[in-house]
Structure 1
């Protein structure tokens, strides 16, 4: 391998990473053409980066095509949510949701997921994943797409089978929520202090719940012995409830979806989390789960669908919320950074014995707090394309160009399959800001740096400096 300067290696990694993203999942990264060409030229001298990121192509051409298509789609889209913004929408389980004006566009794009179903309604899942992978999911298609992405619908299900499954899931969720509210009435109402706006939202939520209960008769599909609620650990449940009630009031209140009349959505979010905890005691509640449940609730605008997508996400990702999972993911980042930028790694290690602990929020929450909603949703979709045996990093490694010399794995302590998308994104952010990080001489500076990025990070530039 040809020796290169650490600074050049850092920019090589950044450039190759950006190009791999464009080629495989079409993240809207819009670097200037000249800078991109320079970075690609530098990559050619580094065999390690060529091995890790072989899928390099015409970034500039893809970027121009995507930008043109995006503008074309945006120009012909009408916002159907403004037709009647003052009326409530009723969820299939009887829960009232306020309509929101100014929401994302709902007309179909030119290339739609609905063209991938056969006459019986079976989806070509491979092509669906490829479509998500290349252009992302259109807002009008997320309700159906996310149910497949997050494991709610079986891959080979027909239209009729999904209709029946929707009915059963709605009934099951309604029973689950009613069950803990009736058996634990002291947990049903959230108690807050010095928050008049949220207190009024709590009253509205209670009224809507009573109306929904009166409008829909109790179902006989699920009985008291249908689900494992009887053996609840009260001590763990109370601790989880305390943590949920501390996190929910702070969840995304800056977003329109959770403001004014929409503030009642925080109470739907609370119901989702408590219902999950009551029936998944082996996992319980960990700080950060509220951010993912919030993303599902806002994107799908449906309590029942948000709950089951959240369940599907946790089924695959619960390990990441454990102590062992957190440590492992941090270790993977440390090992990767040690190989691609030894100077930066050594500096961080010399200043802080915790090393990359300041990156913990990024890795645990998939940058959900650091990106705006569209970018955060995009990252969540990308993570859904990764499976336990074939994630984004492993896909890059296993799809080397034909005829290229097979090199031994450069990492001895990290499986290639463990190099997930959020790990690559974390490394890219660190390298993008390496000059600033190399100046820090106190461990607190690293944590302040990560804190300042909250809500300021942009995928299209990967620029970590503060914006005015």
Structure 2
């Protein structure tokens, strides 16, 4: 057995029973060299006390991975979260000290034990659950259009594990929900419904065989990708792969989500086409998020900018507008 690796990753998630330690060891022997090289590059920027400004160089660095110890600060800087926080530096503490809506508070408390039950930090201490409660409560009170809805606990929970600071996690959650993800978490989930159809259209255009196969079998795209989109691949892809995706989402926005989904589908095309029925296909879409390709996060992240081909922001904007109109006419 490959005993050099813990059964728990650095963020406290237990590895699944069928975790392939052999593939992981092979991958990590190379990836650790990449991490060391990236850490040196980032320290040259951050170590000099410079503020991380958006630029072609920083975009390239972000795509190649942000060292875990710098993620909170870099995500805040490149996403505009730092600017938001600087405009209202006392907002988080003010909200927490105000009177709170008991109904919202109760709903959040109900969801806390369901958040990452296999994570040692959320499982074994009250501290993380208490901090997560604060983040979700503050967010719900300052954004009453969204309030609190299921799915936010997973996003906020991972932000907390990565940044180790509830206030930083709050501002990053605010940026994600209000600026990066278009109406995913409103009561109607209008933006999410639109983006599910946008992804289906992109598959139809870029992988028509897969699209036709999924359509013929009758598996709705909403069943396949709702969790991918609403949880931003948390609890779906391996943790480090998810965080590398988040590095890019905070810099480049929601189109990265489509690149990831298209890459998973394109790189597993033959497996998907080999499925004969509804149950097989649904299972295959789960399996492809856990295989060797998804585990090797550095190769995977390089491939998301090559495999799907050209995907301009303008294409996403036009597709969203067209699908919104179609959905409104139904």
TM-score, length-scaled by structure 2:
0.68
* 1:297–1:303 CA contact under 8 A, matched in 2: yes
* 2:79–2:175 CA contact under 8 A, matched in 1: yes
Given the superposition, is the C-alpha separation of residues 361 and 312 from structure 1 closer, same or farther in structure 2, using an over 3 Å criterion? same
1:225-304 paired onto structure 2 within 5 Å: 238=103, 240-241=104-105, 243-261=107-125, 263-304=126-167
* 2:219–2:282 CA contact under 8 A, matched in 1: no
Deviation of the 1:126 alpha carbon: 1.3
Partner of 1:112: 42
Aligned residue pair count = 267
1:393-432 paired onto structure 2 within 5 Å: 420-432=255-267
Aligned with 2:197 (options 311, 320, 331): 331
Deviation of the 1:137 alpha carbon: 1.1
1:68-467 paired onto structure 2 within 5 Å: 69-70=33-34, 72=36, 109-112=39-42, 115=45, 123-126=52-55, 129-154=58-83, 165=86, 169=89, 171-181=90-100, 184=101, 187=102, 238=103, 240-241=104-105, 243-261=107-125, 263-316=126-179, 317-322=181-186, 323-352=189-218, 354-355=220-221, 357-387=223-253, 420-452=255-287, 457-460=294-297
What are the Cα deviations for residues 214-251 of structure 1, in whole angstroms up to 9, with x where unaligned? xxxxxxxxxxxxxxxxxxxxxxxx3x555533432121
* 1:370–1:453 CA contact under 8 A, matched in 2: no
Given the superposition, is the C-alpha separation of residues 386 and 441 from structure 1 closer, same or farther in structure 2, using an over 3 Å criterion? same
Structure richer in helix, relative to its length: 2
Q: Quote the Cα distance in structure 2 between the aligned partners of 1:340 and 1:123.
A: 35
Q: Quote the Cα distance in structure 1 between the aligned partners of 2:32 and 2:120.
A: 29
* 1:291–1:365 CA contact under 8 A, matched in 2: yes
* 2:264–2:288 CA contact under 8 A, matched in 1: no
What are the Cα deviations for residues 189-221 of structure 1, in whole angstroms up to 9, with x where unaligned? xxxxxxxxxxxxxxxxxxxxxxxxxxxxxxxxx
Given the superposition, is the C-alpha separation of residues 318 and 446 from structure 1 closer, same or farther in structure 2, using an over 3 Å criterion? same
SS in 2 for 1:154: helix
Given the superposition, is the C-alpha separation of residues 352 and 315 from structure 1 closer, same or farther in structure 2, using an over 3 Å criterion? same
Deviation of the 1:179 alpha carbon: 1.0
Deviation of the 1:270 alpha carbon: 1.6
* 1:277–1:284 CA contact under 8 A, matched in 2: yes
Q: Quote the Cα distance in structure 2 between the aligned partners of 1:241 and 1:437.
A: 43
Q: Quote the Cα distance in structure 2 between the aligned partners of 1:432 and 1:123.
A: 34
Query: Can you give the 5+ residue segments of structure 2 that lack an aligned partner in the other structure?
Result: 1-22, 301-330
Provide the aligned C-alpha RMSD in A.
3.4
Given the superposition, is the C-alpha separation of residues 68 and 279 from structure 1 closer, same or farther in structure 2, using an over 3 Å criterion? closer
* 1:113–1:141 CA contact under 8 A, matched in 2: no
Given the superposition, is the C-alpha separation of residues 427 and 135 from structure 1 closer, same or farther in structure 2, using an over 3 Å criterion? closer
Q: Quote the Cα distance in structure 1 between the aligned partners of 2:35 and 2:137.
A: 41
Q: Quote the Cα distance in structure 2 between the aligned partners of 1:136 and 1:315.
A: 24
Partner of 1:412: none
* 2:59–2:251 CA contact under 8 A, matched in 1: no
What are the Cα deviations for residues 280-310 of structure 1, in whole angstroms up to 9, with x where unaligned? 1112223211111112111111111111121
Deviation of the 1:272 alpha carbon: 0.9
Bigger radius of gyration: 1
Deviation of the 1:318 alpha carbon: 4.6
Given the superposition, is the C-alpha separation of residues 145 and 267 from structure 1 closer, same or farther in structure 2, using an over 3 Å criterion? same
What are the Cα deviations for residues 370-404 of structure 1, in whole angstroms up to 9, with x where unaligned? 122222111111111224xxx7xxxxxxxxxxxxx
* 2:238–2:290 CA contact under 8 A, matched in 1: yes
Q: Quote the Cα distance in structure 2 between the aligned partners of 1:245 and 1:68.
A: 39
Given the superposition, is the C-alpha separation of residues 153 and 71 from structure 1 closer, same or farther in structure 2, using an over 3 Å criterion? closer
SS in 1 for 2:39: coil
* 1:116–1:123 CA contact under 8 A, matched in 2: yes
Query: Can you give the 5+ residue segments of structure 1 that lack an aligned partner in the other structure?
Result: 1-29, 31-62, 74-107, 156-161, 188-237, 392-419, 463-468
